[in-house]
Amino acid sequence: MKIHNSLDSVTNISNAVVTTGTFDGVHLGHQKILKKLNKLADYCEGESVLFTFFPHPRIVLFPDDHGLKLLNTLEEKKERLAASGLDHLIIHPFSPEFSRLSALQYVRDIMVNALGVHTMVVGYDHHFGRNREGDLELLNEFSETYDFGIEVISALDVEEVNVSSTKIRRSIGEGNIHLANEYLGYKYSFTGVVIEGERRGRLLGFNTANIEISSELKIIPSYGVYAVNVLLFGQMYKGMLNIGMNPTFNNENKTHIEVHILNFESDIYGESLTIELVKKLRDEKKFNSKEDLVQQLNEDRRLTIETLR
């Protein structure tokens, strides 16, 4: 997959079959679109193209109140798209100026003149241009004027998959990891760096790595304990993850993310690791004593081993 960070680097794409969108999560619905995109490109001896944006449009248009949490960082998205067989990923800088392009300018200047579009693949409710002024009817008019094809993904195709980035974000926010993973078609994950913690886990017999998440826009699941896989040094380990405020010990209003890696004792401060979520085991709970907490942690470890077997 060739990655273009601006239209300036795009040259000589053969019979470009283009779709557009943010593709956050690259979930099953997106994967279906990409499969269709690649199939059409093969049929016309062309190349498949995704025209997407960075930063996310909501961050630019509502900088003080976007409330946005994302399923993928830009690097994670690139990896997922590369695995799909996509030929070209164009990451266009999203700006207020770009948002003001008319529907005509968007199609004529970008799709036709810059990309040389052969076929556009769009959803049945596709809108484009300033204030979403362009619709499918207008796109059909442009396709006749500029001589390119349109492949419409029908409402039936969309409903068959029955998935959206919004549904996945909601599922993760509620701790319903199983459902989120089903929608994604892979296990949801996040990456962070191991930082210095308060070392309480060691005193309890459960060494934990405290994680600082690399992206502030990355959505983090609801408070609780999770069975997870941990990718570290190119190897996958089993672990149990806690997200919360450590209510048994802490009165501070601060979220902690810490993972106990099973059968692992090495010092990994400063190392980057990836947490792959498998299942939520329980909600966060305040315990009356350290002994009660240790008893629950032993049960959590048993359930983690059973879940990840």
Domain 187-307 has CATH 2.40.30.30: yes
Q: Look at residue 162 in the predicted model and tell me its pLDDT.
A: 77
Secondary structure (3-state) at 222: coil
Q: Are 214 and 192 in contact (CB under 8 A)?
A: yes
CA distances from 199 to 204, 227, 262 (A): 9, 21, 17
Residue 277 CA, chain-centre distance (Å), reads 13
Superfamily of domain 2-163: HUPs (3.40.50.620)
Neighbour-count burial of 283, counting CB atoms closer than 10 A to its CB (0-12 exposed, 13-18 middle, 19+ buried): exposed
Neighbour-count burial of 265, counting CB atoms closer than 10 A to its CB (0-12 exposed, 13-18 middle, 19+ buried): exposed
Q: Which residues pair with 70 in a beta bridge?
A: 218
Q: Look at residue 183 in the predicted model and tell me its pLDDT.
A: 94
* Residuewise pLDDT in 10s, the chain (309 residues): 999 998 988 988 999 999 999 999 999 989 999 999 999 999 999 999 999 999 999 899 898 877 889 999 999 999 999 999 999 999 999 999 999 999 999 999 999 999 999 999 998 889 999 999 999 999 999 999 999 999 998 866 766 667 889 999 999 999 999 999 999 999 999 999 999 876 665 666 688 999 999 888 999 999 999 999 999 999 999 999 999 987 776 666 788 999 999 999 888 999 999 999 999 999 998 888 888 988 999 999 999 999 998
Where along the chain do its domains lie? 2-163, 187-307
Distance CA 26, CA 18 (A): 16
DSSP string, 167-206: HHHHHHHTT-HHHHHHHHTS--EEEEEEE----HHHHHT-
Q: Are 238 and 230 in contact (CB under 8 A)?
A: yes
